[in-house]
Amino acid sequence: MRNTPKKSSPRRERKAQNKIKLGARLQRAFDFAAHQHAGQTRKTTTIPYIAHLMGVASLVLEAGGDEDLAIAALLHDVVEDCGGAPMLNQVRRRFGARVAKIVDGCTDAYVIPKPPWHDRKVSYINRLKKENADTRLVSAADKLNNVRSILSDYRVIGESVWSRFNGGREGTLWYYRTLRDEFLRSKLNRITRDFDLAVRELESLTGNSAPKLQNEG
């Protein structure tokens, strides 16, 4: 008896059409990021900086981001940490205008030494209010990965974790709380929902309170 091939259901076909396609560009972006950030580590640790970039890219892909967004996630710090405006031009040339726009939107400093911490963060938050959904998604993934790292370290070393940050305890909590509130102005997604929960947990550990989660809508 001959087997009859199963017909694809419309639902299955739509799912296949929506499958995220990843190709050689993503590998090139990873290689580029690894080369540019070679020797860099997470604040006061021995963790290679590429671990953060991989974590952000993973969050973006898990949230449904496409290849351009994953590439931007891998490169989101390359302008700030590896060359400023000339590096942004290189990103645009290598990976396209869309990726460059997202990386630009995730950058809060273009020169070394960087401007004063508080002024720089206020400026970044104000810019974020005007950014498109692509940039906000990558930015939220970046901040979520950062807060999760702070939480993990806080559980081990407690209050001394704040010595790593230019804003100290109060400044760092203000920054992530303010970012959380800004992200919650838009419709919730996987990343912004988890970011809100992570900030709440950090506030709870440090004795701060937080407002209730906004409804999805």
pLDDT digits (tens, 9 = 90+) for 152-189: 999 999 999 999 999 999 999 999 999 999 999 999 99
For each of the chain's 217 residues, which pLDDT tens digit applies?
455 445 545 454 444 446 788 999 999 999 999 999 999 999 888 999 999 999 999 999 999 999 999 999 999 999 999 999 999 999 999 999 999 999 999 999 998 888 999 999 999 999 999 999 999 999 999 999 999 999 999 999 999 999 999 999 999 999 999 999 999 999 999 999 999 999 999 999 988 654 444 433 3
Helices (H), the chain: 10-17, 24-36, 50-62, 67-75, 78-82, 84-95, 97-105, 117-128, 133-157, 168-183, 190-205
Check residue 19 and give its pLDDT: 79
Rounded distance between C-alpha atoms, residue 107 and residue 152, angstroms: 25
Round the CA-based radius of gyration of the chain to a whole number and report it.
19
Handedness of CA 78, 202, 157, 148 (dihedral sign): negative
Residue 125 in 3-state DSSP?
Answer: helix
Centroid of chain to Cα 120: 18
Any catalytic annotation for residue 80? yes
Active site residue: 68, 80, 108, 134, which one?
Answer: 80
N-to-C CA span, the chain = 53
Verify whether residue 81 is a known catalytic residue: yes
pTM for the model: 0.87
Please identify which of the residues 13, 62, 77, 81 carries the catalytic annotation.
81
Where do the domains of the chain lie, and which CATH numbers do they carry? 22-205 (1.10.3210.10)
Per-residue confidence (pLDDT) for residue 7, from 0 to 100: 54
In the three-class reduction of DSSP (H, G, I as helix; E, B as strand; rest coil), residue 48 is classed as strand
